[in-house]
Structure 1
Amino acid sequence: MTNRAEVTREAIVAAAVPVFGRYGYRKTTMDLLANAAGVSRPAVYQYFPGKDAVFRAVAASVSADLHAGAAAAGATGATTADRLYRLLAVKLDFAAGTVAADFRHELVQEAGTIAPDLIAASESAYAALVAALLNDAPELDLLGDAMTAEEAAVLLTDAMVGIARSTATADQMRERLRRLVDLAVRGLTSRPDLQNGAPR
């Protein structure tokens, strides 16, 4: 694929993200995707055999962007709770800001059918980021043999995904995530004087 062709393909994928978010999977058409990308419908078919292929490309692109953003966000913050919240909030903010509440459930269902391999890999990679952050937090006690960082990460990411799939407002979802993170950090903190991720 030439550089120009790659740029066009990436432009189609980038334009498709808000289209799927606004119309859901079922109501999105190749015409809508073409119009959003500023190309003809036949041009979209030059790069993708159909809507499923565009959707898979969107899933791969969004996952890569979310992981990069989450890694950067998780590296900042004064406390472990702040870093954990920021890491998890990247994916939550994407769901709240890009996907219409009416279509969140539909898009998750379609992703599970059309791109289950990509979704599984994405969820695993996100959980790995959370686990790495937990492992690097010296004040946390991961309950010895009862819970590993990886197990705690899966619980947190699953809970975050549940929040993201709700029809709550963006502010409500962020508040719920913050409470979840604070509760988790308190529960995993080994010393009472480190309940907020820093000595008191």
Structure 2
Amino acid sequence: MTAETTRDAIVAAAVPVFGRYGFRKTTMDLLAQAAGVSRPAVYQYFPNKTAVFRAVVETVGAELHAAALAASATGVTTADRLFALLRVKLDFAASTVAADYRQELVREAAALAADLVAESEARYAALVTAVLEDAPELDLLGDAMSAEDAAVLLTDAMVGIARSSATAEQMRSRLRQLVDLAVRGLTSRP
């Protein structure tokens, strides 16, 4: 394997490890074992667990953005497009991160990779903004609420749902209710 391939394999293997054990309980040994490399090999690419975690945050952010971009083009209605877009991130949290560690990983990401999290959240909000701006049936409350404000509100609420200890199906149901409520509230009235 090339150096880049090995590094990418370590990062890819680290995603489910952090999701299963959280940040604090994840060790370099667990990361090495999951990647199928030795512990010294992990240290060749990353000086510590924090560096691996930052690489995971960056990679996951890029992958979620690509998937969300594709999802935002699906669906017939604005509500369907918003739900598909927001569901990408929600489903990642529900399927990859154990409920016991969701809040811990969000806290650690905010502390150790705040720059990467902010960049990822801004890109995600920009996708939601684009869907809202592309919806002629929506009235973004004139000067009271811009598309950007509505997008941040929706993404923040989705993150709140994703942090819960609810089941994946409960989280999806709550997200759908949120999107439907938001679209109803923003729909132009004659």
* Fold agreement, TM-score > 0.5: yes
The runs of at least 4 consecutive aligned structure 1 residues that moved more than 6 Å come to none
> In 1, distance between residues paired with 2:40 and 2:105?
25
One-letter identity of the residue aligned with 2:18? F
Shift of 1:78: 1.1
Instruction: Find the partner of 1:104 among 102, 105, 110.
Output: 102
What percentage of aligned pairs have identical amino acids?
A: 78
Give the structure 1 partner of residue 178 of structure 2: 180
2:75 to 65, 74, 77: 77
Aligned counterpart, 2:164: 166
Question: Partner letter of residue 108 of structure 2?
Answer: E
Q: State the SS of the aligned residue for 2:2.
A: helix
Taking structure 1 as the reference length, what is the TM-score of the superposition? Answer: 0.94
- Summarize the alignment of residues 58-97 of structure 1 with structure 2, pairs less than 5 Å apart: 58-97=56-95
Q: 2:21 aligns with which of 23, 28, 46?
A: 23
Unaligned runs of 5+ in 1: 193-200
Amino acid at match of 1:27: K
Cross-structure match for 2:143 = 145
CA drift of 1:191 comes to 3.6
- Count of paired positions: 190
Q: Which amino acid aligns with 2:176?
A: R
The TM-score, its normalising length taken from structure 2, stands at 0.99
Task: Give, in angstroms, the shift of residue 59 of structure 1.
Answer: 0.1
Residues 54-74 of structure 1 deviation map (CA, whole Å, 9 limit, x = unaligned): 000000000000000001001
Structure 1 position 173, deviation (Å): 0.2
Matching residue's letter, 1:173: M
How large is the Cα RMSD of the aligned pairs? 0.9
